[in-house]
Structure 1
Amino acid sequence: MSLGYRLRDRREKFGKTQLEAAKHLGISNVQLSRYESDDRKPDPDMLSRFAEYYRTTTDYLIGRTNIAAADFRETAGSGEYPAFEEFINNPEHGVFFKDYLDAPEERKDEMRRFWEFIREKEKGRKPGDRQND
């Protein structure tokens, strides 16, 4: 599989359009299209941004491994906190929990409990509502 194929596959896995992904990555959809069609190769900084956004590793994107390490639904032990896993698997939320994948199990439990706390506090709150109102 080529780099372009892997980029497109990861984008589609997260249900993002080229326009949505490009906007988040700070590039044009034409540039993203060229990366995905292998007409253009990303520089190291752009490759890192792709890996972070698509919740995987640069090694996976360039073909050094076939394991997309950030696939929560394919990881042993997942499923105990499906809402948390869905939340963290969203590239727009991943920045907050970006070290989750490499964290020891004790830290992962702590992060899941923190997320549950936040979710409980936000229950019933509507967009535009102020906190603690």
Structure 2
Amino acid sequence: MYRRIRELREDRDLDQKQVAQMLGMSQTGYSKYETGENDIPTQILLKLADFYDTTVDYLLGRSQKPKP
């Protein structure tokens, strides 16, 4: 899951600060999600799925298809 959110961000040429701002949090806090240091809360997963136009299942690694 952590690798996927990093890859999605990098594929869109975004930095951690930009994604963190969209989520209303600090870059440091968001960085801990990408490294797996902190678990990602459900609400954040939902926001990321909407932001990247993908599914939570894809973010969690339960699906290999980024689109439903």
TM-score, length basis structure 2: 0.92
How far is the alpha carbon of 1:7 from its aligned partner? 0.5
Letter of the structure 1 residue corresponding to residue 66 of structure 2:
A
Question: Can you list the C-alpha shifts for 1:81-115, whole angstroms capped at 9, x where unaligned?
Answer: xxxxxxxxxxxxxxxxxxxxx7xxxxxxxxxxxxx
What are the residue-to-residue correspondences of 1:33-44 with 2, within 5 Å?
A: 33-44=31-42
| Higher helix proportion (structure 1 or 2) | 2
Amino acid at match of 1:9: E
- Within-5 A mapping of 1:2-17: 3-17=1-15
Dislocated runs of 4+, deviation >6 Å: none
Identity %: 32
Q: 1:24 aligns with which of 22, 25, 43?
A: 22
How many pairs are equivalent? Answer: 68
Structure 2: 5+ residue runs without aligned partners? none
Question: What are the within-5 Å matches in structure 2 for residues 65-80 of structure 1?
Answer: 65-69=63-67
Higher CA-based Rg: 1
- 1:54 Cα deviation from its structure 2 partner: 1.5
- Per-residue deviation at 1:14? 1.1
